[in-house]
Structure 1
């Protein structure tokens, strides 16, 4: 979520980095948690962080194949969701990693 431009951040990552992050759901949560913590430390609001998480999830859904069962479930939920439902999923993911921090 560097500079809250998740599309650019995902596009700039090497395939090897993407594979490593998506190798396990715990690694994905750790990556997301790190980005959320950095955004919080930079003073971004919860709403801005959730919007960035939504954009990141959209990019992943469009350009990355799920690597494990958890990611497959999230991908199917994301593909089935519309508008506010996607926002709710993104906010829930952010809260999940905040609680684990």
Structure 2
């Protein structure tokens, strides 16, 4: 992705999350299984739109960046992911995003 396309994509991802109701966020984030299910549905939709694993991982990375900055972990699994995200550099975070995509495929 070019820098301007990536910036636009980041804005779309953040806009979609920001427009989500607090109740919907709570439903998704209250359990790790709920989070995996939500992410799995989004990955499936992305695949149907022709996104490859790299594009899916970049999107997952944008979501994880947002969650790390704006949402508190609501369970042990999310806390572990949050802590790993905080200590990782950008490359490690990108690898973790790939693993999350694979986890829910």
TM-score, structure 1 normalization = 0.91
Q: Which runs of 4+ in 1 moved over 6 A?
A: none
Aligned residues: 96
* One of 9, 18, 25 as aligned partner of 2:25: 18
Gap runs ≥5 in structure 1: none
The 5-angstrom pairing of residues 39-58 of structure 1 reads 39-58=46-65
Shift of 1:25: 0.1
CA distance in 1, matches of 2:15, 2:85: 20
The 5-angstrom pairing of residues 1-101 of structure 1 reads 5-98=12-105
RMSD: 1.2
CA distance in 2, matches of 1:56, 1:27: 15
CA distance in 2, matches of 1:85, 1:31: 23
Shift of 1:83: 1.2
Shift of 1:94: 0.2
Superposed CA offset, 1:23-77 (max 9, x none): 1000000000000000000101111110000000000110000000000000000
TM-score, structure 2 normalization = 0.88
CA distance in 2, matches of 1:17, 1:34: 15
CA distance in 2, matches of 1:9, 1:53: 13
